[in-house]
Amino acid sequence: MRQLVSWVASACVGFVRACVVVAVSMLVPAVWAAAVALGIWWGGGTWIPAIFWACFGTFALSRQVCRMFRHLVAKWTGTVIPAGYRQAGPVARMSTGYWWNGFSYTRSSKRAHEEQRWRTRWSDPASWRDLRFAGIAPITVGLITAIPPAAVVAAVLGLSQSALPARLAGVLGLIVAVASAPYAWRSIEPVAVRFLRASSAMALADRVDELTAQRADTTVAQAAEIRRIERDLHDGAQARLVSLGLSLATAEKLMETDPDQARALLRQARAGAATSLTELRELVKGINPPVLSERGLIDAVRALALDSPLEAAVSADVQLRLDPPIESALYFGVAELLTNAVKHAHATRARISIARDDTGIVVDVEDNGRGGAGVRAGGGLAGLHRRLAVFDGTLEITSPAGGPTHVKMVVPCESL
């Protein structure tokens, strides 16, 4: 009895899903059917504008149809199909008052964005992929998923007749509908994955764009880091060393005439040298912490947790050593997250987990703060995302309002 109820529930769910897929896949054919009907109804010279509007409607609907298919596949099967659409660049206002959108100059920002959107979409290979899928879907997924609804229609028509052959056809249609409903909609996944995923050329182009952006970010970050080091040296250790040299020169002159003053200057010089040494150590620690180089990522994170004002617990499944650039990226990522937890989330506790799986290293950081964290342009998390992207790493943030905040950093690493 339980299996029967489960089968009926599966058939009902499958029938509804099949109807949804049929409706979505037939949107573009419906546009052409309407155009043909309009041409037949009015006749004469209306065929050309009818066909024009049918072509325009197909181009406009194709992307929406593909988005709905991706949404249905992700919701029903859990398979995520990346869209792979080109992103429009920034629109800038020139000193002449005109707006530049990457293609042409316009007089208004609205016109610049509209033209940029259509030009980007027209030149995007993904748009032609969507058009192809909009033509393929009705004769593949559409026909398969139309079996349960068509069988139900045949069953209703057949059973409403009094003739025995019609009733037998109606019973057969009902059997076909019940038997095919749990399975017909499943054809959406292989067809969508096959025809909606990015081609090798598109994936290569996206990868080139991503690497170009990463190179630019790395160049900017390196320049900013060099300026920071130069500024810290100029304002800190360098100034103190110059003062130290002047104090020693003055003490040398006063050694015979005023020994007490000379000794006082020497004491000040010694204190200044100690302070300079401390500042240099802090500067080196900011570039590459010695504990990270000497003892590895896990011990460095534990030392970082001990220095943090949070009540931080660190757990690790095994001791591991990674390539120095990866260890540095993950270490400063944890430091950034702990700083954000104290400064912005007002957290009191944090939990750090370092583990590895089949693909690489996984670092989880969770705090009990007020939440609301997100990647914002120019923010610390955006910088962390760029730092991990250099190693094909990912950053996943779950931070609802009110907390808690959970951040997961994953970096592929073959050396594991």
Q: What is the 3-state secondary structure of 130-179?
A: HHHHHHHHHHCHHHHHCHHHHHHHHHHHHHCCCCHHHHHHHHHHHHHHHH
Q: What is the mean pLDDT of residues 249-276?
A: 70
- Rounded to an integer, what is the distance from CA 414 to the centroid of its chain? 23
Residue 345 near residue 367 (C-beta atoms within 8 A)? yes
Residue 61 near residue 134 (C-beta atoms within 8 A)? yes
The SS3 of residue 365 is strand
Q: What integer pLDDT is reported at residue 238 of this predicted model? A: 62
pLDDT band for position 416 (cuts 50, 70, 90): very low
Rounded to the nearest integer, the mean pLDDT of the chain is 77
Given a cut of 80, whether residue 157 has pLDDT beyond it is yes
* Of 168 and 372, the one with more pLDDT: 168
- Distance, CA of 135 to CA of 68 (rounded, Å): 15
Q: What is the mean pLDDT of residues 190-196?
A: 86
Which is it for strands 349-356 and 311-316: parallel, antiparallel or unpaired?
parallel
Q: At what angle do helices 47-77 and 2-25 cross, to 10 degrees?
A: 150
| Helix, strand, coil fractions of the chain, as percent rounded to 5 | 70, 10, 20
The terminus-to-terminus CA distance of the chain in angstroms comes to 51
Domain 295-412: CATH architecture, name and number where available: 2-Layer Sandwich (3.30)
Sheet strands side by side (includes 99-100): 92-93, 99-100, 105-106
Q: What integer pLDDT is reported at residue 336 of this predicted model? A: 81
Q: What integer pLDDT is reported at residue 415 of this predicted model? A: 47
| Site of tokens 């073959």 | 414
Per residue in 296-350, pLDDT tens? 778 788 887 887 777 888 888 766 777 777 777 888 888 888 888 878 778 788 8
pLDDT band for position 281 (cuts 50, 70, 90): low
Token couple for 43 = 């006749």
Cβ neighbourhood burial of 37 (10 Å; 0-12, 13-18, 19+): exposed
Q: How many CB atoms sit inside 10 A of residue 334's CB?
A: 26
Q: What integer pLDDT is reported at residue 279 of this predicted model? A: 62
Q: What is the mean pLDDT of residues 89-110?
A: 75
pLDDT band for position 56 (cuts 50, 70, 90): confident
Domain 201-287: CATH architecture, name and number where available: Up-down Bundle (1.20)
Per residue in 34-43, pLDDT tens? 877 777 776 6
Given a cut of 60, whether residue 126 has pLDDT beyond it is yes
Q: Which amino acid is at 220?
A: V
Comparing CA positions, the residue from 317, 329, 411, 311 lying closest to residue 367 is 311
Cβ neighbourhood burial of 341 (10 Å; 0-12, 13-18, 19+): buried
